[in-house]
Structure 1
Amino acid sequence: MEYFEDVTVGDTDAFGSYGATASEITDFAERYDPQPFHTDPEAAADSPFGGLVASGWHTAAMTMRLLVDEFLADGATRGALGVDELRWRRPVRPGDELTVTTEIVDKEGWDDELGVVSVRITTEADGEEALTMVGLVLYERRTAP
């Protein structure tokens, strides 16, 4: 288990593989972001994207799945305070394989039980930046300061 004291600014990690599918893209969009370029391949072909693309929120959700499975699972994490600097750099398309890179960019105490770790998160789709953000992750302290 990795606690706040174990986290080191500058540490990086890369992990995951998540395949985006057309059916998952349209299912998510029909429920949460029903814009035609997310839900209708024919309408999407006439959009600025030139084809079906995942909602940015879906890209964030797929990123979260990889983070939970590969990054947060071994940490004494207790949720998050939010994200900063969220950007969708390029659309995710059916067939893209997503991977995630993390970099610890800052850490500070929050209270006697928790610390906040700022994690720069980059999601790539087939090797190209698709999403970037900084997560503000709460970590349990092993001992009070």
Structure 2
Amino acid sequence: MAREHFEDVEVGETRTFGEREVTREEILEFAERYDPQPFHTDETAAADSLFGGLIASGWHTAAMTMELLVTNVFTDLAATGALGVDELRWPSPVRPGDTLTVHTEVIDTEPWNEELGLVRSRTTTLVDGDEVMSMVGLVLYERRER
């Protein structure tokens, strides 16, 4: 299959993909290592928190979103890496047993240099159609025409 280069990307292009169930065990494991706040690591404390139960770290949600992007989309792209993300938000928590899906929409493209183009895409992570994370990715793609 041909890889999608910068010239192939169109503003307004959308994709929806992935199904990834989130487990209690991985929420605890990730949080204990990288974000050890009580509502991520202690079910009793989490029950008494603003969230009313155990939730995944937003950083964990971002990592799971990246996993879905890589396994479902990036293998078909001539993407070389990212410059970062803008507008990262976690409007709703992710809980054990939730299933994540991802929706992307290309919102802008621009040449970066002679070899690369910059693609800005809004990525929205969903649970049962409700937004749990959003961000604008700044991804560099190889240009076919040099």
Shorter-chain TM-score tier: over 0.9
Mapping for residues 106-121 of structure 1, pairs under 5 Å: 106-121=108-123
Identity %: 66
Per-residue CA deviations over 1:25-63 (Å, capped at 9, x if unaligned) read: 000000000001000111100000000000000000000
Alignment of 1:1-145 (within 5 A): 1-144=3-146
Please give the alpha-carbon distance, in whole angstroms, between the structure 2 residues aligned to 1:23 and 1:133: 26
Question: Which residue type is aligned with residue 111 of structure 2?
Answer: G
Query: How far apart are the structure 2 equivalents of 1:126 and 1:62?
Result: 16
Residue identity opposite 1:62 in structure 2? M
CA RMSD in angstroms comes to 0.5
Structure 2: distance between partners of 1:94 and 1:108: 39
Deviations 1:70-120 (A, max 9, x none): 121100000000000000010000000000000000000101000000000
Unpaired runs of 5+ residues, structure 2, are none
The residue matched to 2:53 in structure 1 has which SS?
A: coil
Residue 127 (structure 1) shift: 1.9
Gaps of 5+ in 1: none
Deviating above 4 A after TM superposition, structure 1's stretches of 4 or more consecutive aligned residues are: none
How far does residue 143 in structure 1 lie from its aligned partner after superposition? 1.5
Please tell me the residue identity of whatever aligns with 2:145. T
Distance (whole Å) between structure 1 residues aligned to residue 104 and residue 72 of structure 2 = 11
